[in-house]
Amino acid sequence: MKVSSLDDNAAALMTDFYELTMAAGYYFSQFHKDWKTKAIFEMFARELPENRSYLVAAGLQQAVEYISNFTFNKDQIDYLKSLDVFRKISQDFFDYLLELKFTGDLWAVPEGTTLFPNEPILRIEAPIIEAQLLETYLLSTINFQTLIATKASKICNIASNKPIIEFGSRRAHGPQAALLAARAAFIGGCVGTSNTLAGMQFGIPIYGTMAHSFITSFESEIMAFKEFQRLFPDGFLLIDTFDTLNAIKMIIK
């Protein structure tokens, strides 16, 4: 089975299912006689955890890309029509979804902006169905990246003028999370990342050290150091594979 990227047109279904049932409710409701009536949605944090006084906004670029390319394709519509919960929903609604494009307005603070509780990070004004269908994706991408950017900012502030590099890809909750975390950490103040794709896509400086596997693949630790330094004279040497203090002494010699 092919696994589609969330960067393609399949992303319209990257939403909580209730967004779609509510959309149908808006469309057919006698109360919402004109389902093109505009609604306003604002994203903000009501309060922050203890010892967390601010947020650093991140994720706007992905939000804008998602909104700009928001569309349903025929396969997605056919899937929705096959669901039993939609058995009473007429074809008009599905035709509407197939032609749907975002026609509203987006206001947002620039990425990297410091925010406080109850200050909107973004605001959507659009026909109510359009605005509703965006909710899940926007919350997901902005919440996550803002979380990482804020944490990075706090670490960088504590470190004062010392450079901080993001090395979290292997601990991330999946490849896309790793990529976006690298980007968000850079927005939050990190000077670079270990994620090479983030370097290519976002222009973030990339850094790397070496692994214990490289050291242990040689007959001796010093041999590994010399071979690596021969190729990368400005690179980092890993000193804690066996005996940290002894490795430092070998390097000094």
For the chain, state the CA radius of gyration. 24
Q: Where in the chain is the domain with CATH 3.20.140.10?
A: 9-158
Hey, which residues does 114 pair with through a beta bridge? 56
Under 8 Å between Cβ of 238 and 215: yes
Tokens 């001796």 sit on residue: 220
The CATH number, out of the four listed (3.90.550.10, 3.20.140.10, 3.40.630.30, 3.60.130.10), of the domain defined by the range 9-158:
3.20.140.10
CA distances, 39 to each of 82, 105, 131 (Å): 29, 11, 7
- Provide the pLDDT for residue 29: 82
- Provide the pLDDT for residue 144: 96
Q: Is residue 100's pLDDT more than 70? A: yes
Q: Is residue 10's pLDDT more than 70? A: no
pLDDT tens sequence across 183-219? 999 999 999 999 999 999 999 999 999 999 999 999 9
Identify the residue with better confidence: 3 or 201. 201
The proportion of the chain whose per-residue pLDDT surpasses 70, expressed as a percent, equals 94
- Provide the pLDDT for residue 253: 79
Query: What is the average per-residue pLDDT within 29-38?
Result: 70
Confidence of residue 250 (pLDDT cuts 50, 70, 90): confident
What is the model's pTM? 0.89
Kindly report the length of the chain: 253
Q: 17-28 and 91-99 are packed helices; what angle lies between their axes, rounded to 10 degrees?
A: 110
The 10 Å Cβ neighbour count of residue 144 is: 19
Q: Is residue 56's pLDDT more than 90? A: yes
Per the prediction, the chain carries an average pLDDT of 92
